[in-house]
Structures are given as structure tokens and as C-alpha cells.
């Protein structure tokens, strides 16, 4: 597959500069970025030529924390206390699932990611094989993380998945992890640590999402979660935490020492009333911060534009300071920050040799006008209506409101049929 995208404004998220020019794609990779003047594009045989019409081409968003399969619980348990939400709705419903269900639910989530310009997801859910199957079939780039805990998965399964998925050139990679300290026994955590040392691999987990979690860990082990896991030498090869709302200064120092990432999920944290993550404090200490939607049962949507506004806005509200975090920094978190957290160094920018994971932003929409500042427009006014195209690994998966490679209605029907069969309708 060779594609020429011309007449584009190309955003470099590192410098925040915009280049007028074109991008060539060969197979899964970007082969050329420039003004096109020194090359004769007519000498190439293009399978597709895309006129970007002056719109903004940029690296896709990295959704650095999600549970895609939870689409089946969307809007089924809103406005409930966290405890009731988990115990009365989420856990009993999940207990009924099989792998095929998760495959279909993940496919629905993938459609939604594409509408929001997400080109890679960091997913933790039951049955990673079926999550990976859905992503591979549909062309979504996936970093899977083990959700190991006392009830599901096992250290053997985690090791098996680690070796199965981490193949060169695959759309799917796999990181070690566990669901959370409070759902995973010390014995299993010790085994996970040994695995991390054996593979020289980073470890990821939900960390410090609620004050309840933190106080529970202190009761159990006399330490806060990240400090406790670090005391086991869990992060010798780095890793990261999902949520990180109630992190102490000591824990931020630990994260810094191990070059760990914090993944903030403001939509979910807001809707579940979990709290506001100290994103400015994390950034000030030099921690890499990425952004995740969390799963659709808690958020309830998978929309990186909503998350970006919330990251900036909640940081301002938390400190009562409109200057707290600059919008451009948030855009970097949603792209570069996610790529670093997820180990996607090859999907980081639009430059030759990188994976062709790109999105085209429609500037000819009223919310993008006038054009004073493209990046602030994106973070503060942007919405899914602005995603004109989503490309992953050189394939156009979403364009002008349509999914050229899938029958979306068929996916909706499958999901609605299953939730009905599960007795959830």
C-alpha cells in the first residue's frame, strides 16, 4: 500500500511547529515528509492519493488506559456509588462473559476510538487473546497489559501472553502488570516481580485511584501503594500507574527514579467522583504523564478530546489557577506522553521510518475557526467532529464519518444481541 497525502499542515508534537507539505506512506510506515518539491511524486505508483485540503495532519492520539470490552456496560449503571457500581453492576455482569463476547465488545470500542482519532490503546481486560484478536482483525494498534489479580489470570498465563504477543512487527505488544495492589496478593505480586526481573520488563497497574485504596494498602503493609510495590523492587525496569490521584511526594520521587509514567483518566475520575489527579505536580517533577479514557462503563465514552479538555481544566480548578497547565502540554501528553508510556517509540511523530499512525483534523468546522492557534483550538475547542481521517499502520480505517473496512451496523447488532442474551437489556 502506498499513499500520498498532500496539501497538508503537518504538526510536530515535539516542537509544536507546523510544516506545509506532504507525507508519503509505504506499507505500514511513513517513507517521506516534506514539501515535495525535491521529489517527483508522479514517478510513483500510488494506490491512493489524498488531498488533505489544507487540514491538519498529526500523529494519532494514544489512549493510555482503557478496558475496551466494557462497552457492554455503557449507561447501565450510572449515578451510583462506586461500591454499588462495582459490586452490583460491574462484577456480576462481567462474571457472565466469555471470550467471544469480549471480542465483539472490543470491536465496538475500536469503532469509537477511530472516531476520536485514537491510533493506539493501552488495554487491560479479561481475555487478552480476544482483545488482541479484535485489534488485529480491525487494524488497531494495541499495547495490552496483564490484569493479573487473585481472581482472574495467573502468573503462568501472564508469562505465556508476554511471550506470545511481543513479536516484532506486530500490531500488538504486551506489558506485564496486575490489576491493582488491593486485588492482588503479596505472593502473586512477588511472582510478578520475578517475572519483571526475568524479562527485564516494566510493570503497570492501577495505582492510587481512590483514598480507600491508599488507606487499605497502608493498613495491610504500612505503606502507600507505589511505595509498597517499589519496596518489593517491582519497578527495576520502570513501568507506570493508571490514575495516580492520591500519590505522595515520596511516590512521585519513586516514579521519577524509575522513569515511570502516570496515566491520568479525568473523565472516569470525575464521573466516579474519585478525585482530581495532581497532574501539574507530576509534570513539575518531570514525570511522563499520559492520558486515558478508562473503560466505557465509568466514563462513559472513549473520547480523547473530552479527556484533553478535562486534563487542562481540572488542573486549573484544582489549583484555582487558570495558568496551571498549558494546552500545548496537554496535547503532548495525549500523543508523545502516551507513546512513551506504552512503548510506542515508532508511532511518535510524523517522520520517515515511523509507523503511519496519523489523523487528519478538519479545520473547516466552526469550532476550529478563526485560526489563531491550531493547537489550542484542538485542546480547548476540538471534538470528534473534527476527525476527518484516522490511519493506523498505513491503513485508512475511518474517513468522513465512515468506516471503509467494517460494517459498523453489524457490530452494533452483535453487541446488542449479546447484551440481550446476557439479560442486561
Q: Which of 247, 308, 314, 350 binds its own copies (CB under 8 A)?
A: 314
The answer to whether 390 contacts its own copies (rule: CB under 8 A) is no
Residues 131/142, Cβ–Cβ less than 8 Å: yes
- HSE, CB side, 13 Å, CA atoms: give it for residue 385: 8
The answer to whether 371 contacts its own copies (rule: CB under 8 A) is yes
Nearest CB to its own copies, comparing residues 179 and 388: 388
How many residues make contact with its own copies (CB under 8 A)? 74
Sole window of 33-41, 171-179, 226-234, 376-384 interacting with its own copies (rule: CB under 8 A): 376-384
Q: How far is the CB of 409 from its own copies (least distance, A)?
A: 7
Q: How far is CA 388 from CA 13, 33, 360, 375, in A?
A: 19, 20, 5, 16
Handedness of CA 64, 70, 72, 74 (dihedral sign): negative
215-227 residues labelled b (16+ CB within 10 A) or e (exposed): eebeeebebbbbb
Q: Which of 29, 44, 285, 316 binds its own copies (CB under 8 A)?
A: 316
Sole window of 39-47, 161-169, 304-312, 334-342 interacting with its own copies (rule: CB under 8 A): 304-312
How is residue 82 written as a grid cell? 462506586
The answer to whether 86 contacts its own copies (rule: CB under 8 A) is no
The Cα–Cα gap between 204 and 146 comes to 8
Cis before 291 (ω within 30) = no
The answer to whether 321 contacts its own copies (rule: CB under 8 A) is yes
The answer to whether 117 contacts its own copies (rule: CB under 8 A) is no
Q: Smallest Cα–Cα separation from 266: which of 301, 311, 303?
A: 311
The answer to whether 404 contacts its own copies (rule: CB under 8 A) is no
Q: Which of 42, 200, 273, 423 binds its own copies (CB under 8 A)?
A: 273
Sole window of 158-166, 249-257, 342-350, 360-368 interacting with its own copies (rule: CB under 8 A): 360-368
The answer to whether 264 contacts its own copies (rule: CB under 8 A) is no
The answer to whether 284 contacts its own copies (rule: CB under 8 A) is no
Task: Name which of residues 25 to 84 contact its own copies (CB under 8 A).
Answer: 71-72, 74-76, 78-82
Q: Which of 157, 164, 170, 385 binds its own copies (CB under 8 A)?
A: 385
- HSE, CB side, 13 Å, CA atoms: give it for residue 299: 26
Burial zone of 402 (CB within 10 Å; 0-12 exposed, 13-18 middle, 19+ buried)? exposed
Amino acid at each position: 500500500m502506498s499513499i500520498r497525502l498532500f496539501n497538508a499542515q503537518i504538526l510536530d508534537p515535539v516542537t509544536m511547529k507546523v510544516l506545509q507539505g506532504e507525507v508519503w506512506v509505504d506499507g505500514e510506515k511513513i517513507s517521506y515528509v516534506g514539501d515535495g518539491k525535491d521529489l517527483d511524486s508522479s514517478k510513483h505508483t500510488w494506490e491512493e492519493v489524498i488531498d488533505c485540503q489544507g487540514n491538519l495532519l498529526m500523529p494519532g492520539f494514544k489512549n493510555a488506559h482503557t478496558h475496551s470490552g466494557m462497552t457492554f456496560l455503557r449507561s447501565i449503571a450510572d449515578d451510583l456509588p462506586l461500591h454499588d457500581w462495582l459490586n452490583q453492576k460491574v462484577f456480576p455482569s462481567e462474571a457472565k462473559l466469555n471470550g467471544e463476547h469480549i471480542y465483539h465488545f472490543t470491536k465496538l470500542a475500536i469503532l469509537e476510538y477511530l472516531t476520536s482519532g485514537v491510533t493506539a490503546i493501552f488495554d487491560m481486560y479479561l481475555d487478552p487473546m480476544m482483545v488482541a484478536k479484535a485489534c488485529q482483525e480491525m487494524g488497531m494498534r494495541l499495547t495490552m497489559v496483564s490484569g493479573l489479580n487473585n481472581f482472574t489470570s495467573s502468573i503462568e498465563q501472564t508469562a505465556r501472553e508476554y511471550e506470545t504477543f511481543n513479536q516484532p512487527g506486530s500490531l500488538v505488544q504486551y506489558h506485564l502488570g496486575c490489576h491493582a495492589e488491593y486485588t492482588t496478593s503479596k505472593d502473586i505480586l512477588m511472582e510478578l516481580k520475578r517475572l519483571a526481573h526475568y524479562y527485564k520488563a516494566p510493570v503497570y497497574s492501577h495505582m492510587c485511584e481512590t483514598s480507600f485504596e491508599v488507606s487499605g494498602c497502608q493498613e495491610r503493609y504500612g505503606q502507600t501503594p507505589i511505595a509498597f510495590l517499589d519496596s518489593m523492587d517491582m519497578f527495576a525496569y520502570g513501568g507506570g500507574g493508571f490514575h495516580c490521584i492520591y500519590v505522595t511526594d515520596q511516590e512521585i520521587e519513586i516514579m521519577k527514579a524509575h522513569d515511570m509514567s502516570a496515566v491520568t483518566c479525568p473523565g472516569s475520575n470525575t464521573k466516579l467522583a474519585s478525585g482530581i489527579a495532581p497532574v501539574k505536580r507530576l509534570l513539575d517533577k518531570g514525570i511522563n504523564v499520559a492520558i486515558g479514557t478508562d473503560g466505557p462503563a465509568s466514563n462513559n465514552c472513549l473520547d480523547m478530546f473530552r479527556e484533553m479538555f478535562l486534563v487542562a481544566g481540572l488542573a486549573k480548578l484544582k489549583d484555582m489557577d487558570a495558568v496551571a497547565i498549558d494546552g500545548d502540554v496537554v496535547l503532548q501528553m495525549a500523543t508523545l506522553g502516551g507513546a512513551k508510556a506504552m512503548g510506542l517509540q515508532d508511532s511518535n511523530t510524523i517522520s520517515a521510518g515511523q509507523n503511519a499512525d496519523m489523523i487528519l483534523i478538519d479545520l473547516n468546522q466552526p469550532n476550529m475557526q478563526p485560526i489563531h492557534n491550531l493547537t489550542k483550538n484542538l485542546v480547548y475547542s476540538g471534538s470528534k467532529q473534527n476527525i476527518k481521517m484516522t490511519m493506523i499502520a498505513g491503513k485508512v480505517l475511518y474517513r468522513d464519518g465512515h468506516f471503509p473496512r467494517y460494517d459498523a451496523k453489524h457490530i452494533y447488532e452483535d453487541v446488542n444481541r449479546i447484551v440481550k442474551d446476557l439479560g442486561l437489556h
